[in-house]
């Protein structure tokens, strides 16, 4: 089933306002959907990721896998590319506590592990949430047997294979104090999309919304990080967002794929909190974003 609007907005309307910034504009949709908790076997599958020849993904069932799992979330990890030892964990936050389950198993070629009753719906109802969205944080660690080298050249090849490549970069941008009041929700500027320093593969930019990106984030500064890469392997982008002259820091980590990947902070900081920490200096706010691309 699909629905759409063949004539959503004209090109003339887009060009007439302050919608196009730095040669691009953003269309954002708010989507609301209901999970029917009485329907079993309905599952979601995350995107497959490949790290050093190992492919993995997660399949989860919000309403449980079997009739005996009613009232629970079922979570399963899938792995291809053994032999390896795999350590999995999936966690949620309830108040200041982390509720977590772990699985540690060996895999010869391909396998899957999990639990039909990983979290209960009662736990989900009291878990920390953002606009009724609960984050389940899953981590996976692979341990591969290290082959016995036959000679020095074999050892060198093995070491080169497991060595990480790290590319650091940073960008600074400024928001004027008057933009906090004069900008409309959804108005944004962006840094130019550029290659990370000393890299011809990784590109990134930041979109910033002085008055918030959506109605629910009105009164906040919103920030979106967009990145892409031509690397065949999965790239991890980590970093920190700082406000000059203040102790404010927001750390983040995301996967970067061949196509554009993005991470949104719709409520990065409120205008009130920004003023309270002295973030407005000489009628402007200076943001610094430092990043690290790892392959």
What DSSP assignment string belongs to 43-93?
A: -EEPPPEEETTEEEEEEEETT-SSGGGTTEEEEEEEEES-SEEEEEEEEEE
For the chain, the domain total comes to 2
The residue from 76, 108, 143 where one domain ends is: 143
User: In terms of domains, do 194 and 263 share one?
Assistant: yes
User: In terms of domains, do 139 and 240 share one?
Assistant: no
pLDDT at 171: 96
pLDDT at 32: 55
User: In terms of domains, do 134 and 98 share one?
Assistant: yes
The Cβ-side half-sphere exposure at 160, using a 13 Å CA radius, reads 6
Task: Give me the domain span that covers residue 61.
Answer: 44-143
Write down the pTM of the prediction.
0.52
User: In terms of domains, do 112 and 78 share one?
Assistant: yes
Q: Is residue 175 part of a domain?
A: yes
User: In terms of domains, do 105 and 71 share one?
Assistant: yes
Q: Cα(245)–Cα(294) distance, rounded to whole angstroms?
A: 29
CA angle 120, 124, 126 (to 5 degrees): 120
User: In terms of domains, do 190 and 260 share one?
Assistant: yes
Q: Cα(44)–Cα(74) distance, rounded to whole angstroms?
A: 11
Domain CATH code at residue 60: 2.60.210.10
Q: Is residue 34 part of a domain?
A: no
Q: Is residue 10 part of a domain?
A: no
Digitized pLDDT (tens) for each residue of the chain, 295 residues in all: 556 667 777 787 777 766 777 777 676 666 554 555 555 556 778 888 887 778 888 888 888 888 888 888 888 888 887 778 888 888 888 887 888 888 877 877 777 778 888 888 888 888 888 777 888 888 888 787 655 555 555 545 544 445 568 899 999 999 999 999 999 999 999 999 999 988 888 999 999 999 999 888 999 999 999 999 988 877 889 999 999 999 999 999 888 877 678 888 999 999 999 999 999 999 999 999 999 998 8
């Amino acid at each position: 089933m699909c629905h759409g609007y063949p004539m959503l907005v004209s090109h003339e309307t887009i060009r007439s306002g302050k919608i196009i910034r730095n040669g691009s504009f953003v269309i954002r949709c708010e989507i609301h959907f209901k999970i029917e908790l009485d329907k079993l076997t309905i599952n979601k599958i995350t995107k497959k990721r490949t790290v050093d020849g190992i492919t993995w993904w997660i399949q989860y069932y919000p309403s449980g896998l079997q009739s005996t799992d009613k009232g629970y979330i079922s979570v399963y990890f899938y792995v291809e590319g053994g032999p390896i030892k795999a350590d999995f964990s999936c966690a949620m936050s309830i108040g200041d506590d982390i509720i977590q389950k772990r699985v540690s198993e060996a895999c010869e070629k391909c396998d899957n592990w999990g639990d039909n009753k990983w979290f209960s719906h009662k736990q989900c109802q009291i878990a920390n949430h953002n606009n009724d969205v609960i984050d389940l944080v899953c981590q996976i660690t692979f341990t591969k047997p290290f082959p016995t080298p036959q000679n020095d050249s074999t050892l060198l090849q093995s070491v080169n294979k497991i060595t990480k490549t790290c590319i650091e970069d940073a960008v600074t941008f400024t928001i004027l104090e008057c933009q906090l009041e004069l900008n409309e929700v959804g108005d944004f500027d962006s840094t130019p999309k550029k290659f990370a320093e000393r890299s011809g593969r990784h590109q990134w930019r930041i979109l910033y919304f002085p008055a918030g990106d959506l109605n629910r984030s009105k009164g906040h500064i919103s920030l979106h990080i967009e990145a892409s890469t031509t690397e065949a392997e999965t790239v991890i982008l980590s970093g920190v967002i700082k406000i000059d002259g203040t102790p404010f820091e927001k750390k983040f980590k995301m996967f970067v794929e061949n196509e554009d990947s993005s991470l949104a902070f719709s409520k990065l900081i409120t205008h009130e909190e920004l003023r309270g920490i002295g973030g407005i200096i000489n009628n402007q706010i200076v943001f610094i974003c430092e990043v690290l691309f790892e392959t």
